[in-house]
Structure 1
Amino acid sequence: MQTPKGLVPLGHSDEVITFVNRNLEPYRGYHQFMRALPAILKARPQARVIIIGGNEVSYGAAPPPGTDGKPQTWREIFLNEVRGELDLSRVHFVGKVPYADYLRVLQVSTVHVYLTYPFVLSWSLLEAMSAGCAIVASDTAPVREAIHHGETGQLVDFFDPAALAQQVIELCVDPAERTRLGAQARAFAVAHYDLETRCLPRQIEWVNGLAEG
């Protein structure tokens, strides 16, 4: 994986925690993920963290200016909050990456974290499920449509970074549970969200129904 720090070779034998946002911002739980990271990295000294996402704003408010009046990013605000507690050599902010690289990251993920306020479900969650990731996600309304606790992933309170960290740590030490959750997540995604067999036929049926009406 190419990162701002250089090339980081990662494979299935490595412990990789992944987090993906279009842009790193509170609406998609970036702040809670960062607050959970110190405990995760302390408990898992070999873990690497790959964070995909830009520094713009997709949803919600823009970040406030700094005390010097200069613009800030949400990424820097919440990184600075925990900077002194992190081994930053193991935390890789890779920005926005080509789609093929994004999929490769999901394929080597040990545990994937997905967080959001009640809002539209991200396509990235469904792709992580399709890749067979073991997922820890926020127990919020849109997520419950796809992640069923203990079946297709694990759910935690959005506002409890300690619980998030504990759940990630527990999955890191339990490969059998990761395999089980990942397989069931993929099966659920294929059964309910496959384009050719599910989504497209339903969309065509909906359009035809409108035409007939």
Structure 2
Amino acid sequence: MRILFVHQNTPGQYKHLVRRFAADPAHQVAFIGKAQRSISGARTVVYRPSREAGAATHPYIHLFEGQILHGQGAVRAGLALQKDGFTPDVICAHPGWGEALFLKDVFPDAKLMLYCEFFYKSDGSDVGFDPERPVTLDARCRIRTKNAALLVGLEAADWGVSPTQWQRRQHPAVFRPRISVVHDGVDTDLCRPDPAATVTLPDGRVLSRADEVVTYVARNLEPYRGFPTFMRAAAELLRRRPNLRILVVGGDEVSYGAPPAEGGTWRERMMAETQPDPARIHFLGKIPYDAFLSVLRVTRAHIYLTYPFVLSWSMLEAMACGAVIVGSDTPPVAEVIEDGRNGLLVDFFDPKAVADRVEEALDDPVGMATVAAAARRTVVERFDLASVCLPAQIRLLEDLHAGRLPLFPAD
């Protein structure tokens, strides 16, 4: 089988899948992306948009113009592959940046499978969820047009895959019968408990499972991942528990939403508002993956809060490492965590409730050991990379290539 993967951030969600196929000489693999990263066994072609979206473009379609430019860049890369003798049987593409817009026009006989990560709505998901950030009519109109490239891609696609049931359900009903649910997968051999794990702080202090440690992780510290609620809960917890240490992993940029209106970063704003003990809350920034796993292994309670939005890999990795999750009772978190069995659920907007549930975890180590074991078991049974997710992803591609109807869940 000849497979083309397309993702602007090479390799993106295709990391494990592309490596598996590229390592098998029975397959030919190519990758189109913006990032200059080589993949053993695969041809890689880097594209660049010819220009940025115009400053004078109407704001409702500014994103769409940028996506068209990315789509044209992917076309040029596809033509280069075609000229070099590579014509795919199957294309796997993330449509979010526009790269999937025109691939079927370059390779009309190829089967196109999209990574259906998120479909935007002005009601019922992330937008309008936070009362501190009301939605204007202008914003609703702009959000509707954000789906332009996704709709064009979905119309052209032969099939799609979403990582969770909730993310699949965000897509229009007409497309859902052609979207399977298969998660990207978690390496549970790598993400596993380690009672001997330690974390060395910048001041040289070493923390272990013997210490009272609470953790929070996000790519960037921002409202979409509940950072304001977390900080208010953290300040309360530090006041209640004199031996507590809180480790925070994440950057100061903005992945989703917007920076504070008054300027600065969300970390600066929330530190000024909550004024937690600076000697016992440690902002580690963005750290290497092995250090990140050590953070998850020493924690006694891991706080994961999110808008109704894309589920973070970090929550499942924390569960696989045996962490007790105190998570927001929002989809798709509640799709994975059953309150009291494999984690603790809490109101996203209630810092006191977050603090109370963290204390519940800290004060009941015997009961929480059962919860932590159930958390890891959930990930092993439902999200394990080697035994569950990667085989299902491969089966989807093989079914698509063979003309068989892939499996998809009923609504």
The Cα RMSD (Å) is: 1.1
Aligned twin of 1:74? 266
Contact 1:151–1:184 (Cα < 8 Å) also in 2: yes
Residue 63 of structure 1 aligns to which amino acid in structure 2? P
> Is 1:142 aligned to 2:339, yes or no?
no
**Higher relative contact order (Cα pairs below 8 Å, separated by 6+ residues):** 1
| Percent identical residues | 51
Match of 2:305 among 89, 108, 115: 115
Aligned twin of 1:69? none
1:146-185 → structure 2 map (5 Å cutoff): 146-185=336-375
1:1-213 → structure 2 map (5 Å cutoff): 1-4=199-202, 6-66=203-263, 72-83=264-275, 86-213=276-403
- CA distance in 1: counterparts of 2:200 and 2:360, whole angstroms: 28
Residue 181 of structure 1 aligns to which amino acid in structure 2? V
- CA distance in 1: counterparts of 2:307 and 2:204, whole angstroms: 33
SS, match of residue 218 in structure 2: strand
Residue 169 of structure 1 aligns to which amino acid in structure 2? E
Contact 2:200–2:207 (Cα < 8 Å) also in 1: no
Q: Which has the larger displacement, 203-212 or 149-158?
A: 203-212
What is the CA distance between 1:65 and its match in structure 2?
Answer: 3.4
- CA distance in 1: counterparts of 2:391 and 2:385, whole angstroms: 8
What is the CA distance between 1:148 and its match in structure 2?
Answer: 1.0
What is the CA distance between 1:55 and its match in structure 2?
Answer: 0.4
SS, match of residue 88 in structure 1: coil
Name the larger-Rg structure: 2
How many residue pairs get matched?
205
What is the CA distance between 1:78 and its match in structure 2?
Answer: 1.2
Residue ranges of structure 2 left out of the alignment (5+ in a row): 1-198, 404-411
What is the CA distance between 1:45 and its match in structure 2?
Answer: 1.2
- CA distance in 2: counterparts of 1:137 and 1:78, whole angstroms: 20
Residue 206 of structure 2 aligns to which amino acid in structure 1? P
- CA distance in 1: counterparts of 2:250 and 2:205, whole angstroms: 17
- CA distance in 1: counterparts of 2:201 and 2:273, whole angstroms: 22
**Any idea what the Cα deviations from partners look like across 1:87-137, whole Å, max 9, x if unmatched?**
211110010111111101111001110000000100000100000001100
- CA distance in 2: counterparts of 1:91 and 1:38, whole angstroms: 9
- CA distance in 1: counterparts of 2:343 and 2:273, whole angstroms: 28
Q: TM-score, normalised by structure 1?
A: 0.93
SS, match of residue 21 in structure 1: strand
Q: Which has the higher helix share?
A: 1
